[in-house]
Amino acid sequence: MAPPARPGNPPNHSTLPVTIAMAAGAACHGKLSCLALLSSLLVLLHAHVEPAAAACSVDAIYSFGDSIADTGNLLREGPVGFFASIGSYPYGKTLGKPTGRCSDGLLVIDYFGGPYMDKGADFASGVNFAVAGATALDRAVLLQSGVMMPPASVPLSTQLDWFRSHLNATCDCAKKIAGALFLVGEIGGNDYNYAFFQGLRSIESMKAYVPQVVNTVMDVAKASLLVWNARIIIPGNFPIGCSPSYLSLFSGSSAADLDDRGCLKSYNAFAQHHNEQLQEAIDDLRKANTDVTIIYADYYGAFMHLLDHTSILGFDQGSLLQACCGAGGAYNFNMNLMCGAVGTSTWDGIHLTQQAYKAIALSLLMEGYAQPDDAVQEIWSC
């Protein structure tokens, strides 16, 4: 796969970010009241969360990750297998056409800032290296345990190589990317998803992978430190136990594993285990680099906030844990009939829709789910 940043053959993207984004139905089934509420908030706070609203102190955004960040790279390369349908309707239906985003519309990163927007593909305002299906660990590492990756899957090490090649080939770094914002993830979710979905690993055995995944994420964060005055955002994993895909595959094994929200406690505990180790690594990196802004984005907490405030946000409580575009069943999800395949109805079971991503972006920027909060406000307050 060619690096997305290659001049003259750019990816089709307009911004950047994770993986298993869950409860896709949370966005699809939102009522008009949710749109009205969020629209009002975004009018008042549009300098913070309008799509393409400039982060005032950021000149460029560089993104690494998977489908939560990919705004068109996999589509450019030609999606196959599990991701074959992302270039077809109903993906992108809120935007009027498929864009390569694994959603009906925009992603969290689309609400993070305008400097990243594709302006003639000169990449002066940043580059999105994220590719749907990407893993933190290399293919060879996962194959040692029998975990198979999709053919087009791009590990984080390859994205880092693309970034280094981009710096060497296209920019006067001192002038163009001083003060850039780096979004490192969410990444690592697919390492876990592939193993769990293929039935190859138990939750306990997968914990052995967590330190390797976290170390790989931190390698990219450390590479970002080579850029003058870099600001780094590192998101954690979502509560995968609330995903229609996980619920459809694993909820039948034990009703006692469901919490009061209807989510799988064991898989959410695993996501929290990953997030705890990631935060510990971030703290160590901060201590070693006290002059660098490093922000932890709590995707887990922001999504739980959405689940717990459905009436305020206008979502349909009865549909929160169902996919919008699926093939029926308790969670409207069938791994063999993904969104866009013949015989499905209308939304995906693995990724959120625009409305939910918008609510999460608002929680990160305005409600303290990205820490330290003062650093967040310094970047996005004008």
Kindly list the domain boundaries of the chain, sorted by start residue.
25-380
Among 3-17, 106-120, 140-154, 238-252, the minimum mean pLDDT is found in 3-17
The percentage of the chain sitting over the pLDDT mark of 70, rounded to a whole number, equals 76
Which pTM value belongs to this model?
A: 0.83
Q: Is 351 a catalytic residue?
A: yes
Q: What is the pLDDT of residues 327-351, one digit of tens each?
A: 777 887 777 776 755 433 235 778 8
pLDDT given for residue 49 in this prediction:
42
More confident residue, 230 or 228: 230
Catalytic residue, from 13, 224, 348, 363: name it.
348
pLDDT given for residue 43 in this prediction:
29
pLDDT given for residue 276 in this prediction:
98
More confident residue, 122 or 88: 88
pLDDT given for residue 42 in this prediction:
30
Catalytic residue, from 13, 29, 48, 67: name it.
67
Q: What is the pLDDT of residues 118-162, one digit of tens each?
A: 444 567 678 899 999 999 999 999 998 888 887 768 899 999 999
Most confident listed range (224-233, 257-266, 326-335): 257-266
pLDDT given for residue 89 in this prediction:
84
Catalytic residue, from 29, 166, 274, 351: name it.
351
Q: Which residues of 149-161 are buried (b: 16+ CB within 10 A; e: fewer)?
A: bbebbbbbbbbbe
Across 19-43, average pLDDT: 33
Across 213-230, average pLDDT: 89
**197/327 Cα distance (integer angstroms):** 18
pLDDT given for residue 31 in this prediction:
29
Q: Is 205 a catalytic residue?
A: no
Fold of 25-380: Rossmann fold (3.40.50)
Structure tokens at 254: 């034990």
pLDDT at 61 over 80: yes
SS (H, E, C) the chain: CCCCCCCCCCCCCCCCCCCCCCCCHHHHCCCHHHHHHHHHHHHHCHHHHCCCCCCCCCCCEEEECCCCCCCCHHHHHCCCHHHHHHHCCCCCCCCCCCCCCCCCCCCHHHHCCHHHCCCCCCCCCEEECCCCCCCCCCHHHHHCCCCCCCCCCCCHHHHHHHHHHHHHHHCCHHHHCCCCEEEECCCCHHHHHHHHHCCCCCHHHHHHHHHHHHHHHHHHHHHHCCCCCCEEEEECCCCHHHCHHHHHHHHHHCHHHECCCCCEHHHHHHHHHHHHHHHHHHHHHHHHCCCCEEEEECHHHHHHHHHHCHHHHCCCHHHCCCCCCCCCCCCCCCCCCCCCCCCCCCCCCCCCCHHHHHHHHHHHHHCCCEECHHHHHHHHCC
Across 312-335, average pLDDT: 78
Among 257-271, 309-323, 325-339, the minimum mean pLDDT is found in 325-339
Q: Is 66 a catalytic residue?
A: no
